Amino acid sequence: MNTHHHHNEHDAMSGSDELEQLLKLAASQPAYRPAFFRQLLDATVYILGDSEQVQLQGEITLDAETPVNIQHWEKQDGSSVVPFFSSLALLQQAVAEEEHPFIAMPTRVLFEITQGDHLFLNPKAEYSKEFFPDEVAMLLATGGVVKPVERDIEQETQLLLGQPTEYPAAMIDALTTLFSQRKLVRRAFLALIHDREVDEQPNLLIGLDVKGEQADIDALISEAGMVASETAPNDDPVDFCLVEENARGVSHYLVNHTQPFYQRRWGSWLRNAIPSTDVSSSV
């Protein structure tokens, strides 16, 4: 029997297993949707179909220019979808062991060559997901998250800050789950903010104490915005701001007058920082 030593936990789970796990979680929990989309866009997927070039040369690298015959399936309502699969096992299960040519290709390439089509990930599996053309276009453009609208609050503006009377528990749970997947967030705070100049109603505000590269922070805020908009009570708008320790205004209120709803566990940080010593004695 061959044994493999895994240096970190991630290797132990293959990419397709991890993708299927994220699809299952994302089905019921918006907090996992950004990670699912990220993983999907980096994955290799399997489609039913063939390409003359593949038959000629065996293994080839497909790009959006390669002519490929992709099999479509008809749904019960008569519409047509392109089935694609996160693993060969699920493909074989879906075609019930019949012989079928298939092609492995990066998800991005599949999305590019089928633009305008409906796609269906893992049909017939326990967890599957349909992708509509505009969703695919957005995934290709932004990785599946809508870019937040930024606005600067003028110094003179009278902002009213407080706490929401109705605690947005589902949203806070989902954001906590998202933040715990990402190392960037040190603490996260919740408030209700009312900028009378701009809005009739107060908005929920999430303050983030983050450390990291600007691009990673921007991506995180987009993901958090997507999760928040899917879980906020009554579809309320949600604002995000970055908290600075000694700043005035909003940051001061959040840091000094509210408790963080999320605090990164120091334990996990320390564990990574201490070099592990190998205690097994060599014979």
High-pLDDT (> 70) share of the chain, %: 78
pLDDT single digits (tens) 160-197:
888 888 899 999 999 999 999 888 999 999 999 888 77
> Which pLDDT score is estimated for 250?
85
- 119 plus 173 within the same structural domain: no
Q: Could you say which of 142, 170, 196 is where a domain stops?
A: 142
For the chain, the straight-line distance linking the first and the last C-alpha, in angstroms and rounded, comes to: 24
pLDDT single digits (tens) 235-252:
888 999 999 877 777 888
Range of the domain at 213: 159-270
pLDDT exceeds cutoff 60 at 215: yes
- 127 plus 233 within the same structural domain: no
pLDDT single digits (tens) 128-157:
999 999 889 888 887 766 666 666 665 556
Pairing of strands 203-210, 238-242: parallel
In a domain, 117, yes or no: yes
- 167 plus 54 within the same structural domain: no
In a domain, 154, yes or no: no
- 168 plus 256 within the same structural domain: yes
Query: In one letter, which amino acid is 214?
Result: Q
Q: What's the CATH number where 235 sits? A: 3.30.300
- 170 plus 258 within the same structural domain: yes
In a domain, 95, yes or no: yes
Residues 6+ apart with CB under 8 A from 241: 205, 206, 207, 208, 250, 251
pLDDT exceeds cutoff 80 at 4: no
pTM of the predicted model as reported, rounded to 2 decimal places: 0.66
In a domain, 205, yes or no: yes
